Structure 1
Amino acid sequence: MLKSVLLSITLFCCSIVFAQDEFEQSLDSLQTLDDVNLFFQKNKKVKGKVIVFNEEKHKTRMATDILKMSVGAKKYDKDNPQRTYFKIIEKNEIPYYKVSCVYLDGTKHSLKDINIIRNQVISKYKEGYEFSNLAKQYSMDSSAKQGGDLGWFTNGDLHPDFEIPIIEGNYSVGDIFTIDIPETQSYYVVLMTQNRKLIKESKVLKVTMPRK
């Protein structure tokens, strides 16, 4: 009886190891995002998604480790209750931009009044006022609480009519300018707070081995 039980346990453990090895081998075969999409189509029960780790936005130990890894490398998350892996699919350096702004709502002010306010903001900034304080005083959206700071963004993160003048403009740190988006009645005073920066990003497949 005892031998039968031990044999059953041994066979069970071997099946788990085999399934684990097979699972890891399937991960090793994934090289592109197209491979990942096909993998999920064939493995409906597998839970997973592609996530992006950015060296400026993600400062955890996990993110730091992943950003150091090369394309194709895997990381096993031993702290996760399920068997969870991270597989590096792509690594890139993406141009990012950083600005602060004062937003003025064209549905609440006339364009004439908006231009008066914008001229006041620009004049006060050039006189030595902190832009963050001006944003808290004048800006009409939630960014006012952060002193107008929008954080790092890249092409496609924000409204294109806001991004394009910043991305294509030859601006340097400290330059202040205006942006108009009549389509949404959005009007801005924008301060360049950082020069364009290439930031490392890793696209990573996070996948969890299903329970048996």
Structure 2
Amino acid sequence: MKKISLLILVIISINSLHAQRNLFKNSFDEYKDFGISKSEAKAYQKEGSLSVFNKEKHNTKLAIKLFNKKVGKSVKNKNHEGKIEYKVIAEAENKHYRINYIFFDGNKKSYEQIEEQREKMIKLLDSNYKFESLARQYSMDLNKYKGGDSGWFKFGSVMPDFGNAITNTMYYANEVFRVDIPERDWYYLVKKSHTPKNIKEILVLKTVE
């Protein structure tokens, strides 16, 4: 009986941490950033698979080789899949954003409880408490283990309401503010931790013989 109760608690905890796992997985046309139309992308996908490599996120040996190639050039490898070709189809510099955030799950707490907790956190931050430490203690998603660091992301990869809030020019560097998405019961305390910047990305076509 104790084992069953423990399992239930673990499942509840996991579900809570994954409650808004889709925040950075908003459906958008990523190929448009490279000047590739949907029809062109579909044509490439008939040949193989398309992947986006990001200069900040990808630092494998393959990624480094590809970033040193010009558009139209390729890197060839051979493994258990067969002969593989990675061809650089397009490149672009796209604006990316980066923040720290604390997520509150409205399915687990009432809005009044969330707002009370956010008020307390803001007071702690005014007393020089570290935002990252609060995120590790209180954020209700897996990003808590990174101190709430979102990593670099594009505007289109998040929900419009969230994107509009975190790109609002009225907020200064390192300013902390609230963002609410009540229709999904997602509530946040956000720190504008990084200045937006353009990051080089390449679109790569992988084909296997």
TM-score (norm 2): 0.75
Identify the residue that residue 70 of structure 2 maps to in structure 1.
70
Alignment match, 1:37: 42
Within 1, Cα distance between the matches of 2:163 and 2:40? 32
Q: Please list every run of 5 or more consecutive structure 1 residues that lacks an aligned counterpart in the other structure.
A: 1-31
Structure 1 residues 162 and 83: CA distance shift in structure 2, 3 A:
same
Contact 1:172/1:194, CA 8 A, preserved across alignment: no
Conserved 8 A contact 2:102-2:190: yes
CA displacement at 1:76 relative to structure 2: 1.6
Q: Deviations over 1:134-175 (max 9, x none)?
A: 012221122212211121111222222212211243444311
Greater shift in the superposed pair: 65-74 or 195-204: 65-74
Superimposed CA distance per residue, residues 81-140 of structure 1 (whole angstroms, 9 cap, x where no aligned partner):
621111111101111111111111222222222111111111211211111110122211
On the 8 A contact 1:54/1:199 being kept in 2, the answer is: yes
Q: Which residue of 2 aligns with 1:50?
A: 50
Which whole-Å CA distance do the structure 2 matches of 1:80 and 1:208 have between them?
11
Structure 2 CA distance, aligned partners of 1:58 and 1:129? Answer: 32
2:60 aligned partner, one-letter code: T
2:84 alignment counterpart:
84
1:4-23 correspondence runs (5 A): none
The number of equivalent residue pairs is 174
In terms of Rg, which structure is larger? 1
Task: Name the one with the larger strand percent.
Answer: 1
* Coordinate RMSD, CA, aligned: 2.2
Q: Is the Cα–Cα contact under 8 Å of residues 44 and 50 in structure 2 kept in the other structure?
A: no
Whether contact under 8 Å (1:172, 1:195) holds in the other structure is no
Change (3 A) 1:107 1:69: same
Deviates more, 1:74-83 or 1:93-102: 74-83
- 1:35-87 Cα offsets, whole Å, 9 max, x none, are 5633664xxxx6x2011110111011211121122211122225676211111
Stretches of structure 2 lacking an aligned partner (at least 5 in a row): 1-35
Instruction: Measure, in 2, the Cα distance between the counterparts of 1:39 and 1:154.
Output: 23
Looking at structure 2, the residues matched to 118 and 151 of structure 1 have their Cα atoms a distance apart, in angstroms, of: 22
Q: Is the 8 A contact 1:91 1:202 kept in 2?
A: yes
Query: Which residue of 1 is the match for residue 130 of structure 2?
Result: 130
Q: Which amino acid aligns with 2:98?
A: K
> Equivalent residue of 2:102, what SS?
strand
1:118 aligned to 2:123?
Answer: no
Identity rate, percent:
34
Q: 1:107 to 1:151 in 2, by over 3 A?
A: same
Partner letter of residue 42 of structure 2? N
In 2, distance between residues paired with 1:79 and 1:162? 42
